[in-house]
Amino acid sequence: MSNHLIHAKHCKSPHRSDWYTLWPVWTVCAFFLLLVVFGIIREYVTDLPKKSDVAVVVLGNDRDLHLDPATLRPSELHLFEASVSGRKVKFIVERTKNNTIHVALASCRTCYRSHDLHYVRKGQMICGECNVPMAFESKDGKAIRNNCALAKVPHTETNRDVTVLARDVIAQAPKLPH
């Protein structure tokens, strides 16, 4: 009799249990994981503020806007930012095709809580909440096309100058619902 330990030989199973034999399962899991990641990224990107077609002209602190009306082309939107005592508010100036000059806050009267999401696209101010063009208020203070209306800012016009006071712009912002 021998003193050697008897080693039992293990038979290899015909079914390998190594990870590489399950590659179809790993491929399907990776595919679904990619779908979830792309879905999350897509939702995040759609919630980001849109970039405006028009650059913002930042006025100095307590500086009023003085424009020559001849520089305003019909249906061309100009975007400005007024600053008074650290408060900053964006506003727009536009000459319509019938030569009326409109000055308004660059924010929707109804969706003001989303004022950081509003943007200019193809010469129109777009509501960042509803994604529709905003209309200027008519003479009686009502919106022309839809609920998304631009809040009017008082200004003075002469043949040589359009003046918008920074304090008037800042004064209009608290009047909008938050």
Which tens digit of pLDDT belongs to each residue from 49-92? Answer: 666 667 778 888 878 888 888 888 887 888 888 888 888 888 88
pLDDT value of position 33 = 94
Give the C-alpha distances (Å, rounded to integers) separating 146 from 37, 118, 131, 135, 138.
37, 16, 12, 7, 12
Please give the Cα distance from 6 to 69 (Å, whole number): 104
Rg (CA), the chain: 31
Residue 48: pLDDT band (50, 70, 90) is low
pLDDT value of position 177 = 62
Please give the Cα distance from 108 to 117 (Å, whole number): 10
Residue 146: pLDDT band (50, 70, 90) is very low
Task: Identify the CATH number of the domain defined by range 56-175.
Answer: 2.102.10
**Residue ranges per structural domain of the chain:** 19-48, 56-175
pLDDT value of position 145 = 47
Average pLDDT of the residues in 99-109:
82
Express as a percent the part of the chain with pLDDT over 70.
73
pLDDT value of position 114 = 64
Spatial CA neighbour of 48 closest among 115, 107, 114, 117: 117
